Chain A
Amino acid sequence: MLTNEELLEKYELTVGIECHVQLNTKTKLFSGVSNDAKNAEPNTLISPICFGLPGTLPYLNKEALRLAIKAGLALNAEIALYSKFDRKHYFYPDLPKGYQISQYDEPIIKNGYVDVQINSEIHRIAIERAHLEEDAGKLTHPSGADYTLVDLNRAGTPLLEIVSKPDIHTPAQARAYARELYLLMKYASVSDVDLYHGNMRFDVNVSVALSGSKELGVRTEIKNLNSFMNVEKAAAYEYLRQSGLIERGGKVVQETRGWDDAKQKTFSQRSKEEAHDYRYFPEPDIPPVRLDRKLIEEIKSQMPMLPHDARIFLKDRGIKEENIEVILDQPKILDLIIQLPKGTSNNIYVRAANWLSNEVQRVISENNFDIDKDLNLTAENLLRLSDMIDDGSISFTASKEILETIVKKDVDPKKIAEEKNLIQISDNGELDRIIEEVIKSNAQAIDDIKSGKQEAFGFLIGQVMKKSRGRANPGLVSKILKEKIK
């Protein structure tokens, strides 16, 4: 028996990922009903079109096309000037027309790539295609009931299915790719990327083969994962399962599998023999999409900053990689850094980045903030706060206390410092008096210092800080103390 480590050494993993991204259009892909099913009662966001009533016709939402183009540009892909829709047939109660309108052989997006970075190493993962399609409805099976409930609110929601090439070779890469897609869709503003509500769903295709082998093994598809962690875990689980199976002389069956979060394992759902013949053919109700180059250029010129450029921006300003990734997760936080005025020194960028990826994150999570609504930090206040440290008017410790307030409210940090009595004592007379008092009441410590015990010096500084209630500038205290004891 090989150990797990030996198994993973002997077999190589290959992963391809299909990701369904829900586009944040106002209305559905083919009808004028609201697309935001998040908090709606079942079957309230439906029209005769989403209900598949006789005589209804789909009418393509132009906004979905624009968003698909944006997503394609974010994926460094070709935008097809000619694409078309096709019908994909199967019977299921969540599919009102008996077919799904999708794009089969002429997708709107082709040949892109996504770079992911793991331990400073960049991996390029090719995107084969991305196509537009409508989502199906939602079925719920009440426990114990002999019926199933159909909710068609989601039926007809626009999805972009992004299909990667099998360029992924470690579970960590799979996770990084999923996260990168998330960031790309978020930064391109094409989706609300609410993972909890299934705005992005990942289908992970996994196969293993003997290391160095040119041929790919039989693959399984783990469907409907909705977190980066589960993408990684499912890939890792299948890697080990398939390798072990082959090692024991078994064969991997081509099948669809699900991820059991409670048991932390994949399970068989449907084998290839049960696979559908979808009978694709061109959708006759929607003419082929012919895009104008001008439209693509126009959208290109309005593209927001994408994660790749943001990373370069942050890196160029000396910010550490771990902070960069934290900042990237929240575009609003990134905006604060970007909004710092030109000519700001790297020291200040680094200080701001530290605050934003530590103290600010703590405030956000402790208060359960909705970043878009509750975060009222401004770049201006960040800069003011930083300046107050540099001009010695507050201590670094005090800055954190002030930060806690200006994260929630847009007020001048100086005002808060004054209110909270955090302004450092820069008046030498006052400081002198406090130090004199400390020296007088700590004769023993002075003796210790004179006899070479330097720890006592730190103790004295502590005493001064205590007496000043933290307002003394420690540098200045140290300097004055040294002079006085000499």
Chain B
Amino acid sequence: MGTWENIDVIAKKVRNKKLSPLELVNKAINNAKQAKEFNAIISLQEDVAMQKAKKIDEKIQNKKDIGRLAGVPFIVKDNFMTFGSETTAASNILKGYHAPYQSTAVERLESEGAILIGKANLDAFACGSSTENSDFGVVKNPHNPEYVAGGSSGGSAAVVALDVVPFSLGTDTGGSIRLPASFCGVVGYKPTYGLVSRFGVIALASSLDVVGPITSSVEDTQLILDVIAGKDGKDSTAVDREKSYITDEESLKGKRVGVIKQFMEHGLDGEVRNLVENKINKITQSGAVVEEVSLPILDEALACYYIIMPAELSSNLARYDGIRYGHSSSSAKSINETYIKTRNEGFSSELKRRIMLGTFVLSSGYYDAYYKKAQLVRSKLIADFEKTLSKYDVLIGPTASTTAFKIGKNINNPLQMYLMDIITVAANLAGVPAISIPIGMSVNMPVGMQIISKQKEDKKLLGIAREMEKL
């Protein structure tokens, strides 16, 4: 592990002809093939990637502008629309689907010369916490193949941990970047809601979904965010970006750091607690003012999340009806049968469960009791977060209450599985940025710490995370 240098170093070497894009793509493809047993990748675009590498090579020979990420290979979660490959969302209902357009995030990376080599495995439609809900099979943890990689961006986290590529993209609706990053021992970043365009990314829950990078260092995360952040005129929920997200480590001296009390409860594993507390001690020693802070509303966050998310999901998945694209049942004899059979055959049981939940909470007679109440809780949570974050530079806690669990352990207990998100969902509901950084190993499995800041303070958050990462 750790055979890739920092992304800006790789790009610089490419510019200086010390590394060739072809070499880099070859290395990534070989690594991907060697890591096959982990099932982290749904499709590889070897030929397309090699052609792109050649083109960049030509540009270098002709002394043309090649961009800030020239030659750097990457992988995206298979819910990003990309040219030259199918986009499946790891669901049978979209197998073989080719999009006629590309997601903005991929478009921006490619326009800086980065080379997409493949699409990563995920829980179908990003619904899951372990990537066990993929119609393409489970992703295995790079540190122990008997364990899950976390989800739903399990493949994206695993390919970085497995050293296949220097970075990947994932999506995070309730922790889907941070949780697998924590389980796989890499850096997973969920930006402020709207900072990266969602255009061209298959929606799970539109008011919660964000696009973010998975890398092996915060410094790399800064660079990738700097490339992909900002409005594109195609996503009306997008927010303004800062000029640059590239900063040095921010000194912790005098910084106010709140340790979220509720994150340290919830059946927190003893060893995970020890590692987080060790880190907190180092943060204190670096001159930060560390206090415990209580956000009682967090006890309602998971319930609130599991109403809003399925409601939006049930709506977002309505378009997969077998009429225009994707799987269409061949045995259907009427329009109603087309709907029922197509969706029954195409959606896994977890998706059906969430569609049912979402349809229920939006139904007339139940809307007020569930969806509307959840929205009220969400508003309160946003307000409480804002109030608390006005007193602190960042809030911290563990990313997950445990390390990765064994494959199959929670698969028949959806409620236990949903509890995996208990620490991560709050940042999505509040729309604030949050990052998970590795802080050590517990019984040979990685542990992550989460750092949260105010909306749109992504730059400051990353500067602080860089410093904390060093400790």
Chains A and B bind each other: yes
A96 touches B362 (CB 8 A): no
Is B267 part of the binding interface, using a Cβ–Cβ cutoff of 8 Å? no
> Which residue of chain A lies nearest to B197 when distances are taken between CB atoms in the complex?
A57
Residue B207 interfacial (CB < 8 Å): yes
The answer for the CA separation of A341 and B339 in the assembled complex, in Å, is: 65
CB of A370 closer than 8 Å to a CB of B: no
Q: If the complex has contacts A59-B236, A97-B319, are A54 and B81 also in contact, measured as CB distance less than 8 A? A: yes
A55 pairs with B319, CB closer than 8 A: no
A67-99 residues at the B interface, CB under 8 angstroms: 87, 89, 91, 93, 96-99
Contacts of B94 in A (CB 8 A): 54
- A55 to B82 CA separation, bound complex (whole angstroms): 11
Contact string against A for B residues 296-335, beta-carbon threshold 8 Å, 1 for contact and 0 otherwise = 0000000000000001101101111101110000000001
Distance to closest chain A CB from B223 (angstroms): 25
Q: How far is the CA of A347 from the CA of B471 in the complex (A)?
A: 95
Tell me if B201 is interfacial: C-beta within 8 Å of chain A.
Answer: yes
A54: B residues at CB distance < 8 A: 81, 87, 89, 94, 97, 99, 202-203, 319-320
Residues of B within 8 A of A (CB): 79-81, 87, 89, 94, 97, 99-101, 103, 198-203, 205-207, 233-237, 311-312, 314-315, 317-321, 323-325, 335, 339, 359, 362-364, 367, 371
Residues of B within 8 A of A113 (CB): none
CB <8 Å contact, B235 and A89: no
Show the binding face of A for B, using Cβ within 8 Å.
Answer: 48, 51-60, 87, 89, 91, 93, 96-99, 148, 150, 277, 279-281, 284-287
* Residues of the B chain whose Cβ atoms lie less than 8 Å from the Cβ of A148: 335
Contact between chains at B363 and A150 (CB < 8 Å) = no
**A55-B200 contact in complex given A284-B207, A286-B236, C-beta closer than 8 Å:** yes
Which residues of the other chain, B, contact A279 by a CB distance below 8 angstroms?
314-315, 359, 362-364, 367
Verify B324–A91 contact, CB threshold 8 A: no
Whether B236 lies near A57 (C-beta < 8 A) is: yes
CB distance from B209 to the nearest CB of A (A): 9
A277 and B199 contact, Cβ closer than 8 Å, known pairs A54-B87, A54-B97, A59-B234:
no
Q: Do the beta carbons of B87 and A281 come within 8 Å of each other?
A: no
A102 to B237, CA, bound (A): 18
**Is B100 touching A48 in the complex (CB atoms < 8 A)?**
yes
Contacts A48-B101, A59-B234, A150-B323 given: A281-B362 contact, CB under 8 Å?
Answer: yes
User: Bound state CA distance, A96 and B324, in angstroms?
Assistant: 8
Q: Are B324 and A51 in contact (CB under 8 A)?
A: yes
Q: Would you list 29 pairs from A and B whose C-beta atoms are within 8 A, ordered by A residue?
A: A53-B325, A54-B87, A54-B97, A54-B202, A54-B320, A55-B80, A55-B103, A55-B198, A55-B199, A55-B200, A56-B199, A56-B200, A59-B236, A60-B236, A91-B318, A91-B321, A97-B318, A97-B319, A98-B318, A150-B323, A279-B314, A279-B359, A279-B362, A279-B367, A284-B312, A285-B235, A285-B237, A286-B236, A286-B237
Q: How far is the CA of A54 from the CA of B93 in the complex (A)?
A: 12
Chain B residues contacting A55 (CB-CB under 8 Å) are 79-81, 87, 99, 103, 198-203
> Given the complex, which residues of A lie within 8 Å of B323, measured CB to CB?
93, 96, 150
Contact call B235/A57, Cβ cutoff below 8 A: yes
Q: Which residues of chain B have C-beta atoms less than 8 A from A58's C-beta?
A: 236
Within the complex, the shortest CB–CB distance from B79 to chain A, in Å, comes to 8
Within 8 Å CB of A51, what residues of B?
324
Query: Measured between alpha carbons, how far is A89 from B360 in the docked complex, in Å?
Result: 13
A281 nearest in chain B by CB position: B362
What chain A residues lie within 8 Å of B199 (beta carbons)? 55-57
Interface centre among B103, B199, B359 (most CB of A within 10 A): B199
Residues of A within 8 A of B207 (CB): 284
Assembly CA distance A89 to B199 (angstroms): 22
Minimum distance in angstroms from A278 CB to a CB of chain B: 8
Docked pose: A286 CA to B325 CA in angstroms: 25
Contacts of B364 in A (CB 8 A): 277, 279
What chain A residues lie within 8 Å of B235 (beta carbons)? 57, 59, 285
Pick from B89, B198, B319, B371: contact of A98, CB under 8 Å: B319
Chain B residues with CB under 8 Å of A284's CB are 205-207, 237, 312
Establish whether residues A287 and B318, one from each chain, have CB atoms under 8 Å apart when the complex forms. Answer: no
Residue in A closest to B200 when the chains form the complex, CB atoms = A55
Interface of B, secondary structure class, is loop
Complex: A284 Cα to B99 Cα, angstroms: 23
Q: Which residues of B contact A53 (CB under 8 A)?
A: 99-101, 325
Closest 7 CB pairs of A and B: A98-B318, A284-B207, A284-B206, A279-B362, A52-B319, A55-B200, A54-B202
* Chain A min CB distance to B337 (Å): 12
Nearest A-chain residue to B102, judged by Cβ: A55
A48 and B335 CA atoms in complex are apart in Å by 23
A48-B99, A53-B99 known; 17 new pairs, CB 8 Å cut-off, are A54-B320, A55-B99, A55-B203, A59-B235, A89-B315, A89-B362, A91-B339, A96-B323, A97-B318, A98-B315, A98-B317, A150-B323, A279-B314, A279-B363, A280-B362, A284-B205, A286-B237
Q: Which residues of A contact B89 (CB under 8 A)?
A: 54
Q: Which residues of A contact B100 (CB under 8 A)?
A: 48, 53
Q: Are B324 and A52 in contact (CB-based, < 8 A)?
A: yes
CA A327 – CA B359 in complex, angstroms? 53
Identify the closest chain B residue to A59 (Cβ): B236
A residues less than 8 Å from B311 (CB atoms): 281
Please name the residue on chain B nearest to A91 by beta carbon.
Answer: B339
Nearest B residue to A92, CB-CB: B335
List B contacts of A285 (CB < 8 A). 203, 206, 235-237
In the complex, which residue of chain A has the Cβ closest to the Cβ of B362?
A279
Cα–Cα distance between A339 and B359 once the two chains are bound (Å): 59
> CA separation between A96 and B319, bound complex, in Å?
6
B99 cross-chain contacts in A, Cβ below 8 A: 48, 53-55
Q: What residues of chain A lie closer than 8 Å to B233, measured between beta carbons?
A: 59
Q: Is the CB of B236 within 8 A of A277?
A: no
In Å, the complex CA distance between A93 and B325 comes to: 12
Set of chain A residues within 8 Å of B362, measured between Cβ atoms? 89, 279-281
Contact A89 B318 (CB under 8 A): yes
Between A53, A60, A148, A277, the greatest number of chain B beta carbons within 10 A of the residue's beta carbon is seen for A53
Distance (Å) between the CB of A396 and the closest chain B CB? 63
Instruction: Kindly list chain A residues whose C-beta atoms are within 8 Å of the C-beta of B97.
Output: 54
In whole angstroms, how far apart are the Cα atoms of A58 and B203 in the complex? Answer: 12
Residues from chain A with a CB closer than 8 A to the CB of B324 are 51-52, 96, 150
Please give, as numbers and ranges, the residues of chain B lying within 8 Å of A280 by CB-CB distance: 362
CA distance A105 to B335 in the complex (A): 31
Q: B200 to chain A: closest CB distance in Å?
A: 5
CA–CA, A413 and B117, complex, Å: 78
Min CB gap A459→B, angstroms: 79
What CA separation (Å) do A287 and B431 show in the bound complex? 14
Residues of B within 8 A of A150 (CB): 323-324
Min Cβ gap B106→A in Å is: 11
Closest Cβ neighbor of B93 among chain A residues: A54
Q: How many Å lie between the Cα of A168 and that of B201 in the bound state?
A: 49
Contacts of A99 in B (CB 8 A): 315, 318
Q: Please indicate the chain A residues that have their CB under 8 angstroms from the CB of B319 in the complex.
A: 52, 54, 96-98
Cβ B236 vs Cβ A281 within 8 A: no
Query: Residues of A contacting B79 with CB < 8 Å?
Result: 55
Write the nearest CB–CB distance from A83 to chain B, whole angstroms.
14
Instruction: Give every chain B residue within 8 A of A87 (Cβ-Cβ).
Output: 315
Q: Which residue of A lies closest to B364 (CB)?
A: A277
Which residues of chain A are within 8 angstroms of B87 by Cβ–Cβ distance? 54-55
Closest beta carbon of chain B to A49's beta carbon, Å: 9
Query: Which of B89, B203, B317 neighbours the largest number of chain A CB atoms within 10 Å of its CB?
Result: B203
- Chain B nearest Cβ from A27, distance in angstroms: 13
A48 to B199, CA, bound (A): 11
Residues of A within 8 A of B359 (CB): 279
B198, B237, B335: the one contacting A287 at CB < 8 Å is: B237
CB neighbours of B320 from chain A (8 A): 54
- The closest CB in chain A to the CB of B103 belongs to A55
How long is the Cα–Cα vector from A33 to B363 in the complex, in angstroms? 34
- The residue that A277 contacts in the complex, of B81, B103, B205, B363, with Cβ under 8 A, is B363
Q: What's the minimum C-beta distance from B323 to chain A, rounded to whole angstroms?
A: 5
Nearest chain-B residue to A93 (Cβ)?
Answer: B323
- Distance in Å from the Cβ of A286 to the closest Cβ of chain B? 5
